[in-house]
A and B are shown apart, each in its own frame.
Chain A
């Protein structure tokens, strides 16, 4: 199996005895060139991996902050081809780039055409929040053929049988949803997160598949807490919120870089 830039980034963090920092931003938010600048600031601040969001009209798993960011990106005319441009720019920073996309835009673009475009842009893999392994035969074949990592989600409600099924279908890492809910900041890390990671590790012991945790993490202290048991910490709404709140892009970039630094310190001080 090919080693992707994603696997390399996660292995490098593990070698430093820390969790990786994975930051999310929708491509094209607030517009395509600006989203590249925001991602550069995220990487400068310490993100190891960038999840480039493919903005979608019906983001069923996203809370208000990421919905607003995706709406802005779509209003700016962002297309799937723009997502690949943002991936290319992300890869150029040295960070690993993965795409996060609901399934329909991939299917509509053409599954093989999508994997070819992403691989050509230097992308390492794809996170699919509304695709489960049972529906993913075509996706497994296409992502394997293109040498892309394939990241499915597990949730606190997943049965042991489904944890095994889902992690077996993953490459790169498995995305553990920290809580039952949608994306967005929370005051505290859900106590379901650590239990889920422990249960997931019981089925990934042989493969050593990294387990990264997302949903509701938005401070350095929360990142440190999650880094205590996970291989990666995924943060999205916190970055989007800083761009939404800023009066102009330059101010937003400063806030984003400083937020990434706070989180990067967190993943290096495992609680």
Chain B
């Protein structure tokens, strides 16, 4: 590739964003993770073990599907779906989790903690811990344990302890607070397996590196399929891991427009939104400087999205940087638009997407209308929607009023 990636500086800054706004007690652990990753990423044995897991356990490479029927509802543009939903555990999350779980063993730690919103990262973490023989505790907002009861059962079946978090807004942000509290008390034998490209340095870089494979594969697959690079790449953005996953390999390709679709909730101008770049302002949250939904005194505002995985009042610092530099464009997608795209993909392609990923699909429909039938749009279908069937059935009124779910 001809252009350098906007790698963070030595202290994890992406321009004015990122950095390390963390308690002193955690700095040694963050330094350890950073040093271990710098070693591991150059260690052929580590990389071979990870590659083998990605191939024979996760099922990589994930295919690209030409969604011709769905494309008719997207201005006729060619819509290519990167099928991260077909990975083992049902989303892109497993890429990062396997890499960090192997890193945990390298550091000689025996216990893993993680936060989860929709449950995808929690399920992936519980899976990797079962495979590699690590103790596993997952923090999940109580509100989310209700929205995603199936994933709670799944994690417990995999041997993880799921701790419902009953303070604050009882969603993803509070689960992260609680995981940090656990980490500071147990850091000598515990790794915090952070699930997105947010948090203090080195997590945004580490998680991006471990997901780089997604965009790298997709770039090659699109070239083979169409003979050229896509005109646009679309992904949903909560914390932003699946978006960075598919953006990173395309960052040097200036002809490729990058679009992140935030969870607009009931509208980015309402108080019921999770669109932190569109509706938020720069602040410091969960260890990094980034866009945050906050009031005039810096108190975090409650976020809302129909999708638990995007229901987060901030975003990874690299996205804040990409937004400010204009390299990527971030737009909100409402709950209603996402659910319409969810329905369409089910009906036209026979694929039930995660509601998170449905935000990217809704965004791709808008892009298709704008760019026209000659455009090629690559969409990261970051996860499958099995976990969301209950939410969708209620939303679309598919449940027989007499029937019991």
Chain A bound to chain B: yes
B29 within 8 A of A: yes
The answer to the question of B24 belonging to the interface, with a C-beta cut-off of 8 Å to chain A, is yes
**Nearest chain B CB to A170 CB, angstrom units:** 11
Contact B21 A177, beta carbon cutoff 8 Å: no
Q: Which 10 A-B pairs have the closest CB atoms?
A: A108-B298, A155-B25, A105-B298, A181-B185, A157-B28, A57-B300, A104-B298, A104-B284, A57-B299, A153-B24
Write 14 A-B pairs (CB below 8 A) sorted by A numbering.
Answer: A58-B285, A59-B177, A61-B23, A80-B297, A107-B298, A135-B21, A155-B24, A157-B25, A158-B28, A162-B24, A177-B25, A180-B184, A181-B185, A182-B181
Nearest to B178 among chain A residues (CB) is: A60
Contact B20 A135 (CB under 8 A): yes
Tell me, rounded to whole Å, the shortest Cβ–Cβ distance linking A101 to chain B: 9
In the complex, are the beta carbons of B173 and A166 less than 8 A apart? no
- The answer, yes or no, to whether B27 is at the interface (CB within 8 Å) is yes
Interface residues, chain B, with chain A CB atoms under 8 Å away: 11, 19-29, 167-168, 173-174, 177, 180-181, 184-188, 283-287, 292, 294, 296-300
Chain A hits for B292, CB < 8 A: 104
Residues of A near B20 (CB, < 8 A) are 132, 134-135
The answer to whether A105 touches B297 (Cβ under 8 A) is yes
Report whether A103 and B24 are in contact in the complex, using a CB–CB cutoff of 8 Å. no
Q: How far is the CB of B200 from chain A (nearest CB, A)?
A: 9
Contact residue among B25, B27, B286, B299 (Cβ-Cβ distance under 8 Å from A180): B25
Tell me if A117 is interfacial: C-beta within 8 Å of chain B.
no
Given A135-B21, A155-B25, A156-B25, are A61 and B297 neighbors across the interface (CB < 8 Å)? Answer: no
A181 touches B294 (CB 8 A): no
Chain A positions within 8 Å of B, measured between CB atoms, are 56-61, 63-64, 67, 71, 74, 79-80, 103-109, 129-132, 134-135, 152-159, 162, 166, 177, 180-182
Give Cα A108–Cα B293 distance, bound, in whole angstroms: 12
Interface residues of B, dominant DSSP? mixed
B168 touches A104 (CB 8 A): no
If A132-B24, A157-B29, A158-B28 touch, whether A57 touches B296 (CB-CB below 8 Å) is no
Quote the shortest CB–CB distance from A14 to chain B (angstroms): 25
A181 to B185, CA, bound (A): 4
Using known A-B contacts A130-B23, A157-B29, determine if residue A103 contacts B284 with beta carbons closer than 8 Å.
yes
Contact A61 B285 (CB under 8 A): no
B28 close to A79 (CB less than 8 A): no
- Which residue of chain A has its CB nearest to the CB of B298? A108
Verify B177–A155 contact, CB threshold 8 A. no
Q: Which residues of B contact A80 (CB under 8 A)?
A: 297-298
**Complex Cα spacing A158 to B29, Å:** 10
Cβ of A154 and Cβ of B24 under 8 Å apart? yes
Q: How far is the CB of A102 from chain B (nearest CB, A)?
A: 8
Q: Is the CB of A134 within 8 A of B184?
A: no
Contact assessment for A108 and B283 in the assembled complex, using a CB-CB cutoff below 8 Å: yes
One of A58, A103, A135 near B177 (C-beta < 8 A): A58
Q: Are the C-beta atoms of B184 and A61 separated by less than 8 Å?
A: yes
B177 touches A180 (CB 8 A): no
Of the candidates A60, A63, A108, A135, the one having the most CB atoms from chain B within 10 angstroms of its own CB is A60
Provide the residues of chain A in CB contact with B296, threshold 8 Å: 108
- Checking A57, A131, A134, A159 against B28 with a beta-carbon cut-off of 8 angstroms, the contacting residue is A159
B27: contacting residue among A56, A105, A158, CB under 8 A: A158
Given A104-B285, A129-B23, A131-B21, verify A56-B299 contact (CB < 8 Å): yes
Could you tell me the distance between the alpha carbons of A129 and B181 in the complex, rounded to whole angstroms? 13
B297 pairs with A108, CB closer than 8 A: yes
The answer for the CA separation of A134 and B181 in the assembled complex, in Å, is 22
- Specify which of B22, B184, B299, B300 is in contact with A181 (CB 8 Å cutoff): B184
Cα–Cα distance between A181 and B190 once the two chains are bound (Å) = 13
Given contacts A80-B297, A105-B298, contact A166 B283 (CB under 8 A): no
Task: Check if B284 sits within 8 Å of A180, measured CB to CB.
Answer: no
Whole-angstrom distance between the Cβ of A77 and the nearest chain B Cβ: 11
Shortest C-beta distance, A127 to chain B (Å), equals 12
Q: Which of A132, A158, A166 is the most central at the interface, judged by chain B CB atoms within 10 Å of its CB?
A: A132
* A214 to B112 alpha-carbon distance, docked (Å): 28
A232 to B208, CA, bound (A): 44
Q: Please state if A107 and B25 are interface contacts (CB–CB under 8 Å).
A: no
* B131 to A: closest C-beta gap in Å: 29
Contacts of B22 in A (CB 8 A): 130, 132
How far, in angstroms, from A130 to B22 measured CA to CA in the complex? 5
User: A158 touching B300 by the CB < 8 A rule?
Assistant: no
- Inter-chain CA distance A158–B184, complex, in Å, is 12
Expressed in whole angstroms, the minimum distance between the Cβ of B83 and any Cβ of chain A is 36
Residues of A near B180 (CB, < 8 A) are 60
Quick one: which of A58, A64, A134 contacts B300, CB cutoff 8 A? A58
Chain A neighbourhood of B186, CB < 8 A: 180
Tell me, in angstroms, the Cα distance from A233 to B176 when the chains sit together.
30
Chain B residues, Cβ within 8 Å of A130: 21-23, 284, 287
B97: min CB distance to chain A, Å: 23
Question: Which residues of the other chain, A, contact B19 by a CB distance below 8 angstroms?
Answer: 135
Closest to B169 in A: A57
Residue of A whose beta carbon sits closest to that of B299: A57
Instruction: State whether A155 touches B23 (Cβ < 8 A).
Output: yes
A72 to chain B, nearest CB (A): 12
CB distance from B239 to the nearest CB of A (A): 15
Centre residue among A56, A108, A109, A152 by max chain B CB count within 10 A: A108
